[in-house]
Each structure stands twice: as structure tokens, then as C-alpha cells.
Chains A and B, each alone.
Chain A
Amino acid sequence: MSAVYWILGIPFAGMLYQAWRGDAPQAGRLNTRLCGLVFLASLVLAATVLRQGTIELADLQFRVDAFNVYLIVLTAFVGTTTAMFSAPYMANEREHGRVNAARMRLYHAMYQGFMLTMYLVLTTNNLGLMWVAMEGATLATVLLVSLYRSPESIEAAWKYFILCGVGIAQALFGTVLLYFAAGQVEGMGEYGLQWSVLHAHAAELNPTVMSIAFVFLLVGYGTKIGLVPLHNWLPDAHSEGPTPMSAILSGLLLNDALYAVVRSKMLVDGSLQSQLAGHLMMGFGLLSFLVAALFLHRQRDIKRLFSYSSIEHMGIMTFAFGLGGPLATFAALMHMTVHSLTKSAIFVTVGHAAQITRTQRIEHIRGLLRTQPMVGWGLVLGVVAIAGMPPFGVFTSEFLVLTATMQEFPWLTPLLLLGIAIAFAGLFRHLHPMAYGPRPAGQAPVQANLWPVMAHLGIVLWLGLAIPGVLADWFSQATRLIAGSAPL
């Protein structure tokens, strides 16, 4: 049996079981183990794809190629490490009476449910199912955003639900238009939503319909990526939900939404023979990047701060995929990896910091390095990495994006540099007082599991110093698939 079925089956079984016994003391550990099993299955899948090339299953319903297999491994990895962090974190929340048994069941079941929808988005070849899974991800997470039932969290969840629901409805309209375009081509019939079939016939699809479809798909999935001006839900949902949720929303959901947009772009490029899709993505990406960088300065809530940083980085990636050349695509793929590793590590440390100080207000978080050096250093290193300082991997990928921009659109480079500088200042002005300074009275260390943070930052550092051969080869294969030629 193919590893794909294991990857989808384990979280599904896990979801059902956790809905029943998710409040047991060992439920957190079980959550981690389930995610770990999927991670092993994803490694097996990756090895198979590396050896045999693209896999297609179940009458073309599933398709795993170089592009999505690396995202599957990344998703499984971040899911596992976040589950490791989540177990003691949620136990602590329950001790403090912020959640009860029923909500623990909900939390654990929906954690697995969310992972299931993410794997389905990534593995399916059917664009309709991809939409269904993407909407499923909203449904799985919306009740988690309001887990604490505070007025703020309910407001955030409602906003998230309505904005993402309406936004993603646009993507369904785009998908219908795609199917309509496929219906005009002879012999597509039943397979008119299968991405691989559409891609093979891309040149025959009607360009007008495809360009209208792309606008709807970009707006729809762009809402989920958090592109400005559709980003309003993102800081609220990230700041009000439990922290492990913020880590997987930022690290996984945004990436997968971008994945859906890139898949659509590949179809539209084949049909249009023009740069329309790329230019739209560049525009939205650049706007998100600059606006989010400016908003970093105004934040007072630590989780809102880092969710704006996520919008900023998603902007860079969207921009780079829009640029389109092999170098930019390679950079965007790498940026997806390093961003989701770094950002989930940051949210893990932020979660610990918030438990130490019992607040999320930046002005009340002080002296972390003196209180609990591991948490403090985790935060400092994470922010150094996410701000794009060498020798971390974010620097490498941002540098590649800048290089690609200089080759194709030199006049956009100053804007990018300006944005990076603004974001850097925005992050550090908040970080400095939080990490340094004396320890406030009555502040004590908490039980923390910082292995996920160290593992993530270690990998990001490694990617910044030298990209291992296997991974570079992988990125090159994916780049060849998306951009048509290899970068190196």
C-alpha cells in the first residue's frame, strides 16, 4: 500500500479516536506519536518519489511529485514538533483552568483533523477536492481559535470564519471556471478537474476563461495566504487561539494556500503565454510585504507582531513565485521551508514566554533572558533568523530573491530592501526590551520543551550555511517542474 494512504489514514483515525478520548492525560503524547508516524510515512513517500519520480494513484485522484512531496515532509515535520510542544503546553493550560475536558477533546481531535486537511490539500490531484480540503482546514481551526471562549477569541474566530469562508468561495468560482474551460476541450470529460490532465492540455484551454479563473483563484486562496488587503483575519486568529494553533497556522496553512495558488498559476501560464498571473502575484506580494512591514511597528501583542511578520514573509514568497524565473522559484521554495520552520519555532517560544509572564502584551513581557535563559535565547535567535540576518537560511533565500529581482526588475530592488530594513527595525524595537533587562518580581520559569525550537533553528542555520545535496537536488527538481528549467 502506498505511503499516501498512511499519510491520510493515520490523522483520520487519530481524529476519531481523539474526539472520544482526547481528554485523557496521555492524549497529548498520543497526538505527538500519531504525527511522528505520519512523518515517518512521509519520509518513505519522499524516498519513493526520489527513486521513481512522480506517483499517481486511484485514477489520478492523488499525485505526488517533486513540488508537493517536499511540502508534505515539511508539513509532517512541523506538525510533529508542534505536537511535542503542544502536549505540555495544553496540560499547563488545563491546570490553570483555561480549558476543560470537552475542549481538550475538541482540541486534540481538531489538531489531527487540521493535519488531515493539510495532507489532502497537498496530495490530491483534483482541484475540486483541494478546495474542499482547504475549506475543511478553516472549519477544523475555527473552533480552536475560539477555544478559550473569551469575547476577543470569539470575535476573532467569527472574523476568521466569515472572511475566509467568503474569500474561499471565490476560489470555488475560479475552480468552476477551470472546469468550464476544460469542458470546452475535446476528451477531458471526467478528468476536467485533475491537475495533471489540465496541465498536459494547458495550451488548449481558453485563455480568456483561464485569466478570469485565475483572478478568482488568487483572491480566494490569497485570503488564506493573508495577502493584503485580505489579511484582516490573520493577526486576530493567530493572537487569540492557543499558541500551538498559531504555530501550525503560520507554518503550514499559509504555505499550503500558496501552494494552491502556484498550482493554479502553472495552469494559467501554460494557457495564456503571458505574464499576467505572475504580475498579479508580484503586485499582491509586494503590497503585502510593505504594508505588513510597516504594521510591525504598531503592534502591542506579541502574537500579533509575529503574525504580521508571517504576512510579510508570505508576501515575499508570493512575489518570488510571481517573478517566475528558475532562480526566483528556487528562492521561493527555500523561503517557504525556512520561514515555516523559523516561524513555528518562534511561536513555540512565544507560547512559553506568554506562560512565564501570563500576558501577551509586549510592554508587560520583560527580562526573559534573566528569567529563563533557554526561552529568552530561543526568542532572540528566532527573531534574528526571521529578520534575515546571516548565517540563517532566511538570509540566503531573501538574498536569492533580491538577486533574481535585480536581474529582471532592477527598479523594484530598492522597495524590497526598504521593506526588509523596516521589518528589521520593527522586530528589534520590540524584541530588545522583552529579552534584556532585569527580571520582574514574581516571574518564575515554567516547564518548557525547547527541543522543537532548537531542532528548527538548527535546520534553518544549516540551510543558511550549506544546503545539503539531497535537498538542493529536490528544490531543483521542483523548480524545473514549476519554472521549466533548473536554477543551477
Chain B
Amino acid sequence: MPVPAYSVYEQAILFIAALVVFTSFLMLGQKRLSGMIHLFAAQGALLAATTALAAYALPYPHLYVSALIIVTLKVILIPAMLHRLIVRLDMHRDAEPLYLYGYVMMAAAALVMFSYYVVEPIEHLSTLATRNAMAVSLAVVLLGMLLMITRRQVVTHVIGFMAIENGLFFAAVASTQGMPMVVELGIAFDVLVAAVIFGVFFFHIRSSIDSLDVDRLNRLSEVEP
């Protein structure tokens, strides 16, 4: 297959897209909570880099604002908050066992291929770079879900959830040059409030079941004993 001629911008986007998926894979393999938070911040930084790049290359000056929002929210604020919480809950040295590690990685690879399959029909619509970016963002969303499914730790679930939001942001930036400003602000607000509420929940869950293991959240079930 001949390699089509990409502009420098497109090449850069593709490169960052690959790195974003890579961070998602690293998260799936990360045992330690603090390492997980660093990976999440790194993914946020990559996202901000893409946005700033798009703002510079296209040029869409309003994307600089989005990049700034991402840096404050996802690289600084939320990781710092999560870090403070796990220190206060005395969990920053905890490591979580990884179940069926090999299978999870295989499933993750399969999900990436599946995302390419889903966006396949959009083929003749736009440039190859956009299509790749779409597939990558869908893959990040699905890998975030996989992370939530395979882990038992509440903090990991929150990071998986936020990684899903990262994937959506990436889709919006790479394929449509960002959403309208009012929507972007609204989404950022929601993410911030969600992060605060998650923090509140850590303490509630901790005080009610004396651990942060979701397997022990099992009081409500359909069939009662």
C-alpha cells in the first residue's frame, strides 16, 4: 500500500493519536494508583498538545482556549485532586492485582481493531487523518470502559471514566475542530463538578464499607436471599 502524502500537521496528529492510545494501554497495565494518575495527566497533556496544534495549524484561535481548559482541568486540577485524595485515604502506595492480564491486553487490541471497523464506512468522507483520529478516540473510549470493567478499585473506575471523557474530547478536536465554545465550557463544567462529587464519594464509600473495593458494594441485588 503506497503511503499517501501527509502534511506535517496530519503527521503530527497521527503521531499524537498513537501516543494517546498507548497511554490507554499503559493504564490497563498499571498496578499502582499514583502511576495511574500520572498516566491520566500525561494523556491530558497529549490532548492539550493536539488541541494547541490544531489551533496553530488550521488556524482556529478559539481552540487555544480549549487547550488552556484542558491543561488546567485534566493536567493540573483533577490529577492533583485525585493525588491529594489518595494520600489522605492513605492509598498512594497500594497496588491493585491485575486479573487475567494477558487476556485483557488481547481484548484491548481487539477493541482498537473494532473501532477501526466501526469508522470504516466513513471512508470517502474526509481525510485519512480524520478517520484515524475518529477510530483512535473511539478506541480510547472503549479502553476506558475495559479498564472500568476489569478493575475493582473505585479510584481506578474514576480514572477510567475520565479517560472516556478524554477520548470524546479528542474526537471533537481532531474531527470537527472542537465543539462550539458554549458547549465546550459546559462540558468542562460538568467534568469538574463530576470530579468533585467523585471525591465526596470516596469518603462516603470508605465510611460505609470500610474499603474502596467495588466488589463489596453488593447489598442491592435483584434476587434477594
Q: Show the binding face of A for B, using Cβ within 8 Å.
A: 61, 126, 128-129, 131-133, 135-136, 139, 142-143, 146, 149-152, 154-159, 161-162, 165-166, 169-170, 172-173, 176, 179-180, 183-184, 190, 192-193, 206, 208-209, 212, 236, 239-240, 295, 298, 300
Contact = CB atoms under 8 A, between A and B. Distances in A.
Contact of A208 (B122, B164, B218, B222): B122
B171 A132 contact: no
Contacts of A143: 197, 200
A179 B179 CA distance: 8
A170 B165 CA distance: 10
B168 A161 contact: no
B161 A162 contact: yes
A209 B122 contact: yes
Interface stretch (B34-42, B69-77, B99-107, B182-190): B182-190
Interface string B143-181: 001001000001001000100110110011001110110
A131 B177 CA distance: 19
A159 B217 CA distance: 9
B85 to A, nearest CB: 15
B186 A173 contact: no
Contact of B190 (A139, A146, A193): A139
B68 interface: no
B209 interface: yes
24 contacts: A128-B182, A128-B186, A132-B187, A135-B194, A136-B190, A146-B204, A149-B204, A150-B208, A151-B209, A152-B220, A155-B217, A161-B197, A161-B201, A162-B148, A162-B161, A166-B145, A166-B161, A172-B168, A173-B168, A179-B172, A179-B179, A193-B183, A209-B125, A212-B118
Nearest to A168: B190
B187 A172 contact: yes
Contacts of A300: 224
B180 A165 contact: no
Interface residues of B, number: 50
Contacts, number: 129
Given A209-B125, A298-B223, A300-B224, A180 B176 contact: yes
Interface of B: 118-119, 121-122, 125-126, 134, 137-138, 141, 145, 148, 154, 157, 161, 164-165, 167-168, 171-172, 175-177, 179-180, 182-183, 186-187, 189-190, 193-194, 197-198, 200-201, 204-205, 208-209, 214, 217-220, 222-224
A219 to B, nearest CB: 12
Contact of A169 (B118, B122, B141, B219): B141
Contacts of A129: 182-183, 186
A365 B118 CA distance: 51
Contacts of B205: 154, 158
**Which of A136, A156, A172, A192 is the most central at the interface, judged by chain B CB atoms within 10 Å of its CB?**
A172
Contact of B220 (A136, A142, A170, A236): A236
Contacts of B180: 126, 128, 190, 192-193
Contacts of B201: 146, 154, 157-158, 161
Contact of A126 (B125, B183, B208, B223): B183
Contacts of A172: 168, 187
A165 B157 CA distance: 11
B6 to A, nearest CB: 20
A326 to B, nearest CB: 32
